[in-house]
């Protein structure tokens, strides 16, 4: 009997992509009270860093990260939906952060960047990725030695076992667990690129 599906939600099984039309629902006025990206990432991100926000959606985390990296840093906001990226661009301009945020349209199975990264974030998006192993391998290659990768997945969509499997795959790819930070409504891991 195949029991591989137990513990998976519908979203995980079908790899549903969060449509751009739902962006206002996710990035609503209350979200800053639940998730404060500057507070969440301040311990790991410093001025001048190059940071990837993969699956950035409408850019909630990208904006917070851009405030931390400062004028010498760069946030690459990457997503597979160009409409999401358009929202990121507009918000970056409104916030006076457009010099720190570059948008990048990726393919579902290929991020397609050349830059070396200090830090990468996948906020509530890994459960939408069609090939998690290939995704983790690509992030691993993009990170500098000792670069860190912050994954948080929504508890509501992603079962405990499914998240454990993501961590296991990360370790198989070469990541080590650095920390288990706390993010509201999330299951979270901070990974570090092993040598």
Ligand X SMILES: C[S@@+](CC[C@H](N)C(=O)[O-])C[C@H]1O[C@@H](n2cnc3c(N)ncnc32)[C@H](O)[C@@H]1O
Beta strand pairing call for 101-105 and 143-154:
unpaired
For ligand X, the closer of residues 146 and 154 by Cβ is: 154
Comparison of 16 and 93: residue with beta carbon closer to ligand X: 16
C-beta nearest to ligand X: residue: 57
52 binds ligand X (CB under 6 A): no
What is the DSSP code string of 79-110? Answer: ES-HHHHHHHHHHHHHTT-TTTEEEEE-BTTB
Binding mask 125-154 for ligand X (x = CB under 6 A): x--xx-------------------------
* Contacts of 193 by beta carbon, 8 Å cutoff, 6+ apart: 140, 143, 144, 145, 146, 147, 148, 149, 174, 175
Does residue 18 touch ligand X according to CB under 6 A? yes
Q: Does 88 bind ligand X (CB under 6 A)?
A: no
Helix H or strand E segment including 5: none
Using rule CB under 6 A, residue 57 touches ligand X: yes
Piece of 52-60, 161-169, 173-181, 183-191 that binds ligand X (CB under 6 A) = 52-60
Q: Which residues here bind ligand X, judged by CB under 6 A?
A: 17-18, 26-27, 54-57, 60-61, 78-81, 84, 106, 108, 123-125, 128-129
């Amino acid at each position: 009997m195949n029991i591989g599906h137990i513990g998976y939600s519908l979203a995980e099984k079908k790899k549903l992509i969060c449509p751009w039309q739902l962006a206002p629902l996710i990035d609503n006025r209350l979200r800053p009270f639940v998730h404060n990206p500057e507070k969440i990432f301040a311990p790991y991100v410093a001025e001048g860093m190059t940071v990837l926000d993969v699956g950035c959606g409408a850019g909630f985390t990208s904006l917070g990260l851009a405030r931390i990296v400062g004028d010498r840093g760069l946030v690459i906001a990457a997503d597979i939906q160009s409409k999401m990226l358009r929202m990121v661009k507009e918000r970056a301009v409104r916030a006076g952060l457009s010099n720190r945020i570059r948008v990048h349209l990726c393919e579902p199975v290929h991020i397609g960047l050349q830059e070396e990264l200090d830090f990468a974030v996948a906020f509530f998006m890994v459960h939408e990725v069609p090939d998690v192993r290939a995704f983790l391998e690509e992030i691993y290659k993009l990170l500098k030695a000792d670069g860190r990768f912050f994954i948080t997945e929504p508890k509501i969509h992603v079962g405990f076992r499914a998240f454990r499997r993501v961590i296991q795959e990360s370790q198989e790819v070469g990541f080590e667990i650095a920390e288990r930070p706390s993010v509201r409504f999330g299951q979270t891991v901070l990974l570090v690129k092993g040598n």
